[in-house]
Amino acid sequence: MTDTLPRAATPAPRRARRRATPLAGVLALLVAVAGCTGGGDGGSGTTQADPPAAVTVTGPLCDVLPSGTEPGNPTSLAGQPADRALQWIPVLTTFEAAVRASGMAAELTGTPGVTILAPTDDAFAAKFSRTNLDELLLKDTATLRGLLREHVVTGALPVSGLVAAGTVTTLAGIRLTVTGQGQGARVDDEADLVCADYRAAGSRIHVIDHVLGSLPTTANGDDHPAH
């Protein structure tokens, strides 16, 4: 009898390699388990779901993010839990690390319908010194969780929905003002949506260029590597 060798894990996408590589083994295991435990077709003869509808994202930063058939393209993320979808957007490595460090993943996936306003890595670098950011990620995770909750809005809203609402409320109870700006939007006259309308399971993800919230700015401009 010939043993069947396990298939090798699919490499992480090149653009997201810096943050996704340590998770490659975990993701491969999750894929393998999902393949073994996925529900059957109930005898209907249907073995494959219809392909997801194409997802279109908008904003000036979208041009440098995965698209088409590349790993991490918007359509491929549409059915994934929000915390997993964040792993595939290369400019959100700090935000995704903060979600994991603070235990926020369960709240993102367990709350029915949320909008995530996710600051880019550059936005975090402009807001916090490296020492301050390390302190938040490694020690002061309660404060970090509070910061993240100021970036999550109740209701899964596209850009048009945010603009139509005018004001939205975060999980932290903070009200944010949203104004239209061309095809995009601006939040609290501070943050622009630079790549909007990613869809994850039960949520929308909008990439923004500024960290919201009341924490003080501690960045000194020279202790973060250039991105």
Domain boundaries, the chain: 54-208
Q: Is the pLDDT of residue 50 over 80?
A: no
Share of the chain above pLDDT 90, in %: 69
How many other CB atoms sit within 10 Å of the CB of residue 169? 13
Amino acid at site 33? V
Question: Each residue of 84-109: pLDDT tens digit?
Answer: 999 999 999 999 999 999 999 999 98
Nearest alpha carbon to residue 196 among 185, 206, 204: 206
pLDDT at site 137 = 97
- CATH architecture for the domain at 54-208: Roll (2.30)
Higher pLDDT, 224 or 28: 224
Higher pLDDT, 97 or 8: 97
pLDDT at site 186 = 97
Q: Is the pLDDT of residue 215 over 50?
A: yes
3-state secondary structure of 198: strand
pLDDT at site 120 = 98
Q: Is the pLDDT of residue 3 over 90?
A: no
